[in-house]
Structure formats: C-alpha cells, structure tokens
Structure 1
C-alpha cells in the first residue's frame, strides 16, 4: 500500500476551494469509474483519496487562523460549492505578501495583522510532499520567494501560476540540485479557453488552413479577473496564454495579428468565465474561412482535476527519485511548459510517465522539435533519464 500524498497549498482562493472540494467529492470513486476531469481515478497506484492536505498559507484576515475546510468558503471566494467538508484539522497559516496583493485586490482583501509564519518549518514539521501554488497573477517576487522556501523544505512543487519557473534553466538546475521535481508553469483547465484555442489552432494546421488572425477575449467575476484589471501585472500571463496557442502553429504569426488575454471584470459572473474566440484563416484558392466560438465555464473547478493529476505525478517523481522539471506532465498540465507538444502527444507522453516508461526531466540542451515550435522560454528537448531509462544526452 502506497503512502498518502501530503500536500501544501499557497493561496486559499477559489482554485484551492475547488481542489479541496474535489478530493472530498471523489473520495470513494471506484477505480474503474470515469471521473470527468481526471486521467484516472487511480493514477500510478495513488487513488484520489490518497491526497491529504498538510499545510495552507494565505494573507487574508478572513482565512488566516481558520481550518482549511472553512477557509475555502470565506470571502472573497465565490466559486460554486459542490461538496460538504468535514473539519480538516489543517490551519491556514499567515503567508508572505510581497507583491502578491495588487491595487485592486487590496480593495477586497484585508491583510491579516499576523506576522509571516515559518514556511520552511511548517512544511518540514507537517512532512509535506508536494506544494501547490495558487498565488495571484503578477506575483513574480512572491512566487520566487516561496520557491526558495519549498527548496529549503525539500518538497516537490506544482506551479499553477504564470510566473516562469519550471520553464527556466536556472530553476530547473536548482530543483535538480535539491533532488526535487517541479511541474509548471501556469495550469491548463480541463476544457478552458487555452485548451480550446490550442485544439482549434492545431486543427487549422493539420487541415492545411493558414491562420491569419485570431483573438481570445475572457471575462469573469472572481478575484483573478479583478486582479487582472491591473494591466501591469499581466505581462507573464499574456505571454503564457499567447505562447500556448502560437506554439501549435506551423508558421510564424505577427504579434499584431494575435491577441490572447483577459479582457474585463464582470462581478455578477462570480467564478464563471466567458470566453470568445475568433479565428480568421485562408483555405484552398486563397478563400477565407472564419470561425467563432463562445465558451462558458465555472473557472476554478475547471482546473481542479488537472491539479489532482499533477499532484500524483509529482509524487511518482519523488518516489522514483526524479528531479528537475518533469517534461511530460508539464507539457500536458501546463500552458507554458519547458517543452511544447500537441495535446495528443502530451497526453501520450504523460501516460508513459505514469507507467514509468517516460522519465525525461530538465535541465538539458536546447533542441527544436520536429515542427519547429517551442515555448518562448526556449524549447529544450529531453535531457536526462533515470538509470532505468535511456542514456543521458547531456
């Protein structure tokens, strides 16, 4: 019988709420059952219920000091409630603010007066295996500060936010040196704006349609969209979402012809997100083809299942002694992984990873993929295998 996976959460917002609820909701799922949003009920020998929460960090006065099972429903959280939770006996500790609280978030989030807790000490004391970061968009310095704490505590890391960590050689080396795995960067939803736009872009390419212009506009009513009204915090987010789409192209597209990003905050949408995508292309005979679609989703539950799978993959990496950026899981679960594949390729590679047949990690040498596409942070081909894999290419 495998051990439990002890998980720490940074940022007890809507996404954390959906994750915690999801673990409870599917706790007794049959391993042979189809669960929407999960690759497998039992992944690599780990059932959904094998995930247990060991630590949580936030800065909001409405959450710090409370039990995690209560804090996930505290204001300003406004996602849908789909599970009743028992007391989890996990206290929400005071985290580090740094640049995590933008000018619009300050209007709805009152900071806890408590001092920043000992993050490293808490993670060690609670024997946390994997830490999941749900920091707000634009938390560049806060993310890097927390990464240092995670490295010192000896935990695996899942970077759900658009701050480039797993895709950067510097951080890949840091995790390799500490013999720890990382999956990142910027979580993809189950069926969200990015994955829908990627699939349609790939369809255009595979069917020989030249994509000439495209936009993706997103509206929502949660604190994520409120925070993103502060355009100065959006640089990494826009890069991440744009790269996720343009990496599927078979040709270069001028920056002026692609617009991908959050558009506005609509409070009455609460945690729902509405996405509008338009694609203008050229077909045989230089005949135009235009496509428009609208997607309506509950934003936070849309990524919770993906994170559950990512957590279990990170624990498999710890079990197997893998360190650095996990190429296959990152490519399937994240918008800005170290290596971009098509989504079909990424899923196949992740299934191989789960079975133990794909143990590719980074850092490694720079190499372009066969279709010439790469992430904006540099496309790095598989670099390192475990002793049971192929020979190192370093």
Structure 2
C-alpha cells in the first residue's frame, strides 16, 4: 500500500515518541509490537507511516531535521531508538500566535521565523509535502494556534487528528465545513493507551455493570514534562478538565460528585506521569465499595500508541470517502469525541472500523 504521509503540528514529547514507534515498526514491519493494539487498521501497518514534516515555534527545532529537533532542551521523553526513514524530515516554522503563552514562555525561546510565519504558508507546506494526515499535538490552551492548524489542513485537504482538548471535532460549524470539503476529522483530546482516563473509565464501567451506584470519584494527575508545566496555569488547563469530565460522563458517571484533571507540575518527574484515582460506590444492602489506585506511566510513549491508531484510522476514513467527524474509531481514541461510548463499546466500534 502507499505510505501514509503524516505531518506533525508540534515537534514535542509525544511527537518524538510517536516518531520512534514508527521507526521501530519500519525496522520490524511484520512484528506485533507491544502496545500496538491493531497490527493493521484499514489494511495499513504502522510501518506504512512516514513522517514527512513537522511544525514548531522553538528556535532549537525550527529549521532543523526531525532527528535534530528531538534533541532540543524541552524534550523530556526517553530516546528508545534512532529514527530511520523519517529522520531528515524538515521542522518548519509555525505562526507563534498563543502557542507559548503561560509558563511555556519561560522555557522555550521562539524562533524568529515563527514570528513571521503565516497560516497560508502552513497550508502551502501541507500541500507541498503531500501530507495525508496532520496530527495536532500543541500545548493545551493554545486555542488560536490549534484552530489555525485545523483551518490550514481544511484548506490543504489534509485529514486532521486533534490530540488536544480544544473543541475541533465537537465544533458543529467547523465539523460541517470539513464535511463539505470531504476531509476527515478525528478528535478531540487524545486518550493515552493505558492512561489515567482509560483506567478510570474502565473501572467505572465495571462497577456499573455489576449494578453498583457511584457516589463520588476523583482523578489527580501530576508530571514533570512541558505538558504539565503548561497545565500548571489554570487558564491553560480549563479545557483539559472539561474534556476529562466528558470522558467520565460517557462512561456512565453522571450526577456523580467528582473531579478529574492535571493538578501539579513536579519537574524532577520528567516524562513520568502519576495518576491517583478514587471511586466510591454503594453495593448490596447499602454496603460500601472503595477503590483507590496509583498508576505510574511514561507519558509520551503512552500517547504514541494511540496516535499510531489514529493516523491510520484517518487515512482509512479518507480512503473510504468519509468526511467530517468520523465516529467509528473516535470514542476509543479520544477523551472528548462528539459521541462518547463506554470503554467496551468503544473498543468494539474501533475494531469494526479497523477491519
């Protein structure tokens, strides 16, 4: 099959882990890799993916190759393997807009080219690099920058995977325009492969399937990468809290006292994320059930496994003539899709789409 040509909006930690995962698959194309839920999606292997370009605003990344950009000081994710075919893909300047607003401005110096870049240049670059899919992995809260990339992809006819909590797929007007342009749109807010929300919602579904009544729950997340630094600003994290609330409601936690979201930046954790979750429920004869868990994961590889599914789903949707919001794979891949489903139903819907 023809390669899936992917462009990355944001050459950060998640992009680095995803690019490594692609490189590993390219080196071992017929191996079932740990963490890859589906070896093929729509007939595409992960080895069929090519990262052809990236966009960023960091002066340590812009104008460099993809491999060089991922050595920038802001990168905290572990380097597990060297990039292969895609190592020389260019990192192009993105318009600065609100990408570095908040705490990120204290650790990232914007490139001069980013101050001069335009949305029209982004759309032109997507066409010139013949990108099939644009993965938007910008900082949460960078609303103007995220929407600019969605508009550029719409202009270029490039399918979009929105990894951010910004409402792109949930935006009725924008989704309508993607439908009219015959361009697939997947989102919003990428789930981790086995992360806090996935575990939390799976436990909620389990309790509800046994007839228990939920009374209260919480999910608290801390980490040390630039994502958590950015989310330490309440003005940047608001959409993340809303997205996680959507995920809990889709799992069945309606009218339940609770909160879920990022609650702290601890620099020495690096790319490690800690989740502390609690669920209280009532069972037979009013007896109480209490679940308290701690989950420790490396944050960025946990996202890479889902992006690996999402880009192949987006290209498959385009191959099948689907346009606008693509509901089949989205409930499993995103926290806040337009139509959420419990974990088991979401998995079944994704597998049906992938086959």
Return the alpha-carbon distance in structure 2 between the equivalents of residues 317 and 247 of structure 1: 24
Shift of 1:59: 0.2
Return the alpha-carbon distance in structure 2 between the equivalents of residues 250 and 84 of structure 1: 42
Q: Which residue of structure 2 lines up, in the alignment, with residue 190 of structure 1?
A: 193
Indicate conservation of the 8 Å contact 2:159/2:184, yes or no: yes
Q: How does 1:139-218 map to 2 (within 5 A)?
A: 139-218=142-221
More divergent stretch after superposition (38-47 vs 263-272): 38-47
Indicate conservation of the 8 Å contact 2:158/2:183, yes or no: yes
Return the alpha-carbon distance in structure 2 between the equivalents of residues 267 and 310 of structure 1: 30
RMSD: 1.3
SS of structure 2 residue aligned to 1:186: coil
SS of structure 2 residue aligned to 1:327: coil
Q: Which of 87, 112, 130 is equivalent to 1:127? A: 130
Q: Which has the higher helix share?
A: 2
Q: How does 1:213-228 map to 2 (within 5 A)?
A: 213-228=216-231
Which structure is richer in relative contact order (CA contacts within 8 A, separation 6 or more)?
Answer: 2
Q: Which residue of structure 2 lines up, in the alignment, with residue 67 of structure 1?
A: 65
Q: Which residue of structure 2 lines up, in the alignment, with residue 56 of structure 1?
A: 54
TM-score, structure 1 length as denominator?
A: 0.86
Shift of 1:30: 5.2
Indicate conservation of the 8 Å contact 2:42/2:353, yes or no: no
Indicate conservation of the 8 Å contact 1:57/1:94, yes or no: yes
Number of corresponding residues: 350
1:261 pairs with 2:261:
yes
Indicate conservation of the 8 Å contact 2:168/2:187, yes or no: yes
SS of structure 2 residue aligned to 1:111: coil
SS of structure 1 residue aligned to 2:329: helix
SS of structure 2 residue aligned to 1:110: coil
Q: Which runs of 4+ in 1 moved over 4 A?
A: none
Per-residue CA deviations over 1:244-278 (Å, capped at 9, x if unaligned) read 1122126522xxx2011111100110000001001
Return the alpha-carbon distance in structure 1 between the equivalents of residues 345 and 76 of structure 2: 35
Q: Which residue of structure 1 lines up, in the alignment, with residue 278 of structure 2?
A: 278
Indicate conservation of the 8 Å contact 1:4/1:51, yes or no: yes
Q: Which residue of structure 2 lines up, in the alignment, with residue 116 of structure 1?
A: 117
Structure 1, unpaired ranges of 5+: 356-394
Return the alpha-carbon distance in structure 2 between the equivalents of residues 4 and 47 of structure 1: 9
Per-residue CA deviations over 1:191-222 (Å, capped at 9, x if unaligned) read 10000000011111111111111111111000
Return the alpha-carbon distance in structure 2 between the equivalents of residues 30 and 332 of structure 1: 24
Indicate conservation of the 8 Å contact 2:205/2:343, yes or no: no
Indicate conservation of the 8 Å contact 1:188/1:335, yes or no: yes
Indicate conservation of the 8 Å contact 1:181/1:318, yes or no: yes
Per-residue CA deviations over 1:164-196 (Å, capped at 9, x if unaligned) read 111222122111011000110000111100000
Shift of 1:295: 0.2
Shift of 1:28: 3.5
TM-score, structure 2 length as denominator?
A: 0.95
Q: Which residue of structure 2 lines up, in the alignment, with residue 309 of structure 1?
A: 309
Shift of 1:7: 0.5
Q: How does 1:17-32 map to 2 (within 5 A)?
A: 17-29=16-28, 31=30
Indicate conservation of the 8 Å contact 1:29/1:41, yes or no: no
SS of structure 1 residue aligned to 2:328: helix
Shift of 1:89: 2.3
Return the alpha-carbon distance in structure 1 between the equivalents of residues 107 and 213 of structure 2: 44
Q: Which residue of structure 2 lines up, in the alignment, with residue 387 of structure 1?
A: none
Structure 2, unpaired ranges of 5+: none
SS of structure 2 residue aligned to 1:247: helix
SS of structure 1 residue aligned to 2:179: helix
Shift of 1:224: 0.5
SS of structure 2 residue aligned to 1:234: helix
Judged with a 3 Å threshold, the aligned counterparts in structure 2 of structure 1 residues 278 and 345 are, in CA distance, closer, same or farther, namely same
Judged with a 3 Å threshold, the aligned counterparts in structure 2 of structure 1 residues 322 and 283 are, in CA distance, closer, same or farther, namely same
Q: Which residue of structure 1 lines up, in the alignment, with residue 45 of structure 2?
A: 47
More divergent stretch after superposition (240-249 vs 181-190): 240-249
Q: Which residue of structure 1 lines up, in the alignment, with residue 13 of structure 2?
A: 14
Indicate conservation of the 8 Å contact 1:37/1:306, yes or no: no
Indicate conservation of the 8 Å contact 1:25/1:82, yes or no: no
Indicate conservation of the 8 Å contact 2:164/2:190, yes or no: yes
Q: Which residue of structure 2 lines up, in the alignment, with residue 138 of structure 1?
A: 141
